[in-house]
Each structure stands twice: as structure tokens, then as C-alpha cells.
């Protein structure tokens, strides 16, 4: 069993594992219990009453966090028709079949997000098994397959995050950084919560959001009070 450091023991002692904290209190506590020397990421996890084995209960999408993510994203744009537009909008890499081949042959992953124009999807399908497990496959639901590459790039650079249910019905997302103000973290929380509430599948009866927790990199999990 891994040994818990004195520093981690001290911050763990600050968190009551049996308590549900109002979100403002949970965010304040998350900032106080961050123990890393670097600017930790603040994350949110939702446990939902959904069965992702059914297509109509798979929740996936994207939103721009009003307070940003605190993270700079390198964007690869794959396009035959909008290369100039992508370059002018600040894409880090722009190409077409040449870069798809580079991914396939060289395992090239020096980017965080791929945006593709629709005509590239047939070619991209050939490397779906490479991109899919890494969460990099462009998808119209998240706005990463689009003819409007400028809009897609603007949103990503401003703080766009993707969310999707995993096999257990959980959704994980970035809330921001420990260095963010509590107000910005609260704005981001409200934005994510609203989007997930609106995505409730019609097939779900009774309680939809079962649990919410906030944590920081290497920090303790903090249970959040779900308010209507």
C-alpha cells in the first residue's frame, strides 16, 4: 500500500468525507487543499443515473467555459478547402492527407485537439482506431467537424471543453486552475451543470445526477451538495 505523505494527510483531515459541501464551499476547500508546487487543475466529476450501453443515454457535447480553462490547446486543422482560414485563425498545424499519413506512420500526437472540415472525414475514418482511444477523433457533436474552422478555433482557444459519459455513467471535466478566482470557478461550474441538466435523456426516470465531486491534481475528493 502506498505511503501517504504528511502533507496529504493534513489536507485529507480538512475534508469531511461524509459531508456534502455547497459548491462555493467545495471550491474554496479544493483551493485550500491543493498541495502541488505547480498550478493544479481543478476537476469536476458527475455520476449520472444513465446506462451508456443505450445510444439514447450516451451524453456527449462541448461548451466554452466562461472563465476559461487556464490551459493552452494546440490545435491541428485537417482541411483541403480552409487551410488559409485556419492559419489566419491561429491553428498550430494545418494539412490534409499528408498529416493523416504522418499520424498513421509516425504516431504523431503533438497537438491536443483536431478540427476537420467535412470533406476530410472519409480519410480520417481510416485512422479512427488510432484517434478514437485517445479521444482525438473529430465529431460534429463537439463542433470539431465543421466548415467554420475560424469559429471552432476561436472557441477552443477561449476555453472549450468536451464532455462525454464513460462506461460507468460518469462525466469528468476541467473546472479551471487553482490560481483561478473562486468566482471564475463558480461560473465554470454553473455552465457545466446547466449543460448536463439540459442533456438529461428522456428515458431517465427519477434522480438524474446522483453525485458530484470536485478535486484538484493529487488533492482529496470533495463531495458537492446538489442544489435544485
DSSP notation for 128-195 = HHHHGGGT----GGGT-B-S-HHHHHHHHHHHEEEEE--TTSEEEEEEEETTS-HHHHHHHHHHHHHH
For residues 68-88, average pLDDT? 93
In tens, the pLDDT along 20-68 reads 999 999 999 999 998 888 999 999 999 999 999 999 999 999 999 999 9
The Cα 167–Cα 210 span in angstroms is 16
Beta carbons of 59 and 51 less than 8 angstroms apart = no
Give the torsion sign (CA, 28, 30, 36, 39). negative
What is the model's pLDDT at position 141? 87
The domain made up of 6-69+160-224 is a member of CATH 3.30.190.20: yes
What CATH number should be reported for the domain whose range is 75-158?
3.40.50.790
Beta carbons of 68 and 158 less than 8 angstroms apart = yes
Beta carbons of 70 and 180 less than 8 angstroms apart = yes
Domain range annotation of the chain? 6-69+160-224, 75-158
The Cα 11–Cα 138 span in angstroms is 39
Measured from the Cβ of residue 16, the count of other Cβ atoms closer than 10 Å reads: 11
The Cα 4–Cα 19 span in angstroms is 22
| Grid cell digits, residue 124 | 480520417
Question: Who contacts 57 (Cβ-Cβ below 8 Å, separation ≥6)?
Answer: 50, 51, 165, 201, 203, 204
Beta carbons of 165 and 47 less than 8 angstroms apart = no
Give the torsion sign (CA, 62, 66, 221, 196). negative
Report the predicted TM-score, pTM, of the whole model to 2 decimal places.
0.81
What is the model's pLDDT at position 35? 84
pLDDT value at 162 more than 70: yes
The Cα 149–Cα 83 span in angstroms is 9
What is the model's pLDDT at position 115? 96
In tens, the pLDDT along 124-154 reads 999 999 999 898 999 998 899 999 999 999 9
Amino acid at each position: 500500500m502506498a505511503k501517504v505523505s504528511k502533507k496529504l494527510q493534513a489536507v485529507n483531515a480538512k475534508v469531511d468525507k461524509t459531508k456534502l459541501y455547497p459548491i462555493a464551499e467545495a471550491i474554496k476547500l479544493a483551493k485550500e487543499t491543493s498541495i502541488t508546487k505547480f498550478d493544479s487543475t481543478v476537476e469536476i466529476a458527475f455520476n449520472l443515473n444513465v446506462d451508456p450501453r443505450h445510444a439514447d443515454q450516451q451524453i456527449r457535447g462541448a461548451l466554452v467555459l466562461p472563465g476559461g480553462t487556464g490551459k493552452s490547446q494546440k490545435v491541428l486543422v485537417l482541411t483541403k478547402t480552409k487551410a488559409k482560414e485556419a492559419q489566419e485563425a491561429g491553428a498550430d498545424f494545418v494539412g490534409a492527407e499528408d498529416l493523416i499519413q504522418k499520424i498513421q506512420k509516425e504516431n504523431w500526437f503533438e497537438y491536443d485537439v483536431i478540427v476537420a472540415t467535412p470533406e476530410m472525414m472519409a480519410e480520417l475514418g481510416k485512422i479512427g482506431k488510432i484517434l478514437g482511444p485517445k479521444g482525438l477523433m473529430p465529431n460534429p457533436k463537439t463542433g470539431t467537424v465543421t466548415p467554420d474552422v475560424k469559429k471552432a478555433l476561436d472557441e477552443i482557444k477561449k476555453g472549450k471543453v468536451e464532455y462525454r459519459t464513460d462506461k460507468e455513467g460518469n462525466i469528468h471535466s476541467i473546472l479551471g486552475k487553482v490560481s483561478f478566482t473562486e468566482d471564475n470557478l463558480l461560473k465554470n461550474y454553473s455552465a457545466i451543470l446547466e449543460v448536463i441538466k439540459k442533456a438529461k435523456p428522456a428515458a431517465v426516470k427519477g434522480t438524474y445526477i446522483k453525485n458530484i465531486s470536485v478535486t484538484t491534481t493529487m488533492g482529496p475528493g470533495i463531495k458537492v451538495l446538489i442544489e435544485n
